[in-house]
């Protein structure tokens, strides 16, 4: 079995409730029907990249929400409106359903990167009044620091239904042709979406459109996995301008990166790139083959005997999501350094100093000294 089997397809977790607060998997750009309004919420992503095959594999657990919606503002036109999303990729992706066992993927990953807890006992000297000690001396413990058909200039490279979703893999020559295709398929093409898609069309990227299948059961939607070739792993961090969240209303993006070393993120390409300063490193450690299999089982099929020795898992949090105007690219540093968050639980072993008894003893010694002087 080829080495690349353990790094099989790029994954997206898809669960598509259309009501209230839909918990969707994988959406770089929401494309909703007229009258419907959705915004990006918290997300967890997994990116695995094989440096030999140059194949990226991706899993996402994404959230979307309808802002300012409650029971009093319920509207059947928007409650059951089609909801879809667009995913850009530098090459044509392959799309298949994942195994059912991938449903708890991010629970497994979160458990693996939990901070290491260290217990420390410190001696603390405290003055007391010994005569009052029976009324309440006690030791204390410090608390820890605590998701093909041509239509004008659009070619549908592939069209199928996967895990309750209609999928269309699109190759467009210009942004207008793509937005026309979206309109023909029932989506409202707002200015922000048109602006968002233009750079990808200019770079000749592929746009994959997902939406609820006409006969699909939303509650039974499974995960979807996608893989595509890329010289460097990439996450479509850039979002339409109407999806940018203002300060104080942003969400959490947690990124898990699997690859040949410590992952380092950069916003933008080549000379125009800049550091991903919003990222907070949570974990970076090499993965053994058993750990790799236990964590990614069901999400990424692989041969345990073919897992490269220098495979690392890196985890980072970005509390400013979504705020990006550039896509996020990753490089890997094979030498690390390794990192795991540590939380220290301090137990204070109190030692008490009876200042009243010391004072009485001092007075007694002074009296004895004075008497010895007089005699």
The reply to whether 270 and 308 lie within a common domain is: yes
Q: What are phi and psi of 251, to 5 degrees?
A: -115, 180
Model pLDDT, residue 86? 87
The reported pLDDT for the residue numbered 144 is 33
Whether residue 170 is contained in a domain is answered as yes
Q: What domain count does the chain have?
A: 2
Report the pLDDT value the prediction gives residue 70, as an integer from 0 to 100: 45
Give pLDDT, residue 101: 73
* Domain that residue 314 falls in: 3-114+147-335
* Structural domain includes residue 340: no
Q: Are residues 319 and 178 in the same domain?
A: yes
Per-residue tokens: 232: 């460097």
Q: Do 17 and 124 share a domain, yes or no?
A: no
Rounded distance, CA 298 to CA 224, Å? 11
Q: Is residue 286, in this structure, part of any structural domain at all?
A: yes
Q: Is residue 288 part of a domain?
A: yes
Could you tell me if 48 and 176 lie in one domain?
Answer: yes
| 3-class DSSP assignment, residue 8 | coil
Are 37 and 103 within one domain? yes
Segment 332-346, tens digit of pLDDT: 999 989 999 888 877
Q: Do the beta carbons of residue 336 and residue 275 sit within 8 Å?
A: no
In a domain, 341, yes or no: no
pLDDT at 224: 74
pLDDT at residue number 145: 37
Please check whether residues 256 and 153 belong to one and the same domain. Answer: yes
> Do 162 and 283 sit in the same domain of this protein?
yes
Based on the fold, state whether residues 188 and 267 are members of the same structural domain.
yes
Please give the pLDDT value at position 151: 44
- Looking at the fold, whether 134 and 281 belong to one and the same domain comes out as no
CA 255 to chain centre: 4
**Are 179 and 259 contained in the same domain?**
yes
Please check whether residues 95 and 121 belong to one and the same domain: no
In a domain, 342, yes or no: no
Mind giving me the DSSP string for 22-70? ---S--SEEEE-TT---EEEEEEEEEEEETTTTEEEEEEEEEEE-TT--
CA distances from 27 to 4, 168, 205, 283, 315 (A): 26, 14, 16, 25, 20
* pLDDT tens by residue, the chain, 375 residues: 444 443 333 333 333 332 233 333 344 565 644 444 445 567 888 899 988 889 998 887 755 454 554 444 444 344 444 567 789 999 999 887 777 777 888 899 999 999 887 777 776 666 655 444 443 333 332 333 333 444 458 999 999 988 778 889 999 998 999 999 988 887 677 888 889 999 999 999 999 988 876 554 433 345 677 889 999 999 999 988 888 877 777 789 999 999 999 999 999 988 888 999 999 999 999 999 889 988 988 888 777 667 778 899 999 999 998 888 899 999 999 998 999 988 887 776 777 777 777 787 888 888 787 778 776
**Beta carbons within 8 Å of 76's beta carbon, 6+ residues apart:** none
Specify whether 91 is located in the same domain as 160. Answer: yes
> Residue 31's pLDDT is what?
60
């Amino acid at each position: 079995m080829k080495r690349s089997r353990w790094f099989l397809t790029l994954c997206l977790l898809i669960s598509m409730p259309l009501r209230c607060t839909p918990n969707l998997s994988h959406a770089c750009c929401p494309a909703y029907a007229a009258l419907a309004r959705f915004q990006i919420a918290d997300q967890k992503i997994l990116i695995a990249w094989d440096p030999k095959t140059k194949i990226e594999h991706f899993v996402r657990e994404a959230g979307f929400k309808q802002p300012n919606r409650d029971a009093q503002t319920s509207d059947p036109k928007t409650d059951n409106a089609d909801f879809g999303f667009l995913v850009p990729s530098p090459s044509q992706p392959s799309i298949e359903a994942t195994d059912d066992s991938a449903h708890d993927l991010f629970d497994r990953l979160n458990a693996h990167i939990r901070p290491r807890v260290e217990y420390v006992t410190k001696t603390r000297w405290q003055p007391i009044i010994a005569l009052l000690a029976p009324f309440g001396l006690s030791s204390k413990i410090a608390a820890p620091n605590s998701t093909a058909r041509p239509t004008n200039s659009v070619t549908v490279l592939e069209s199928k239904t996967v895990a309750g979703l209609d999928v269309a893999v699109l190759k467009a020559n210009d942004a207008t042709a793509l937005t026309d295709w979206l309109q023909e398929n029932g989506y409202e093409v707002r200015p922000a979406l048109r602006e968002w898609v233009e750079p990808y069309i200019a770079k000749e990227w592929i746009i994959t459109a997902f939406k609820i299948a006409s006969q699909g059961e939303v509650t039974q939607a499974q995960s979807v996995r996608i893989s595509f070739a890329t010289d460097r792993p990439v996450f479509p961090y850039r979002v339409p301008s109407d999806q940018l969240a203002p300060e104080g209303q942003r969400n959490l993006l947690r990124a898990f990166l699997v690859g040949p070393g410590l992952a380092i993120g950069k916003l933008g390409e080549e000379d125009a790139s800049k550091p991903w300063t919003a990222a907070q490193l949570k974990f970076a450690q090499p993965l053994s083959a058993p750990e790799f299999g236990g964590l990614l089982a069901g999400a990424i099929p692989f041969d345990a005997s073919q897992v490269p020795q220098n495979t690392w898992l890196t985890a980072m949090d970005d509390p400013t999501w979504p705020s990006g105007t550039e896509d996020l690219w990753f490089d890997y540093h094979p030498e690390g350094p390794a990192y795991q968050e540590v939380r220290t639980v301090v137990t204070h072993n109190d030692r008490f100093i009876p200042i009243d008894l010391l004072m009485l003893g001092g007075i007694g010694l002074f009296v004895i000294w004075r008497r010895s002087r007089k005699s």
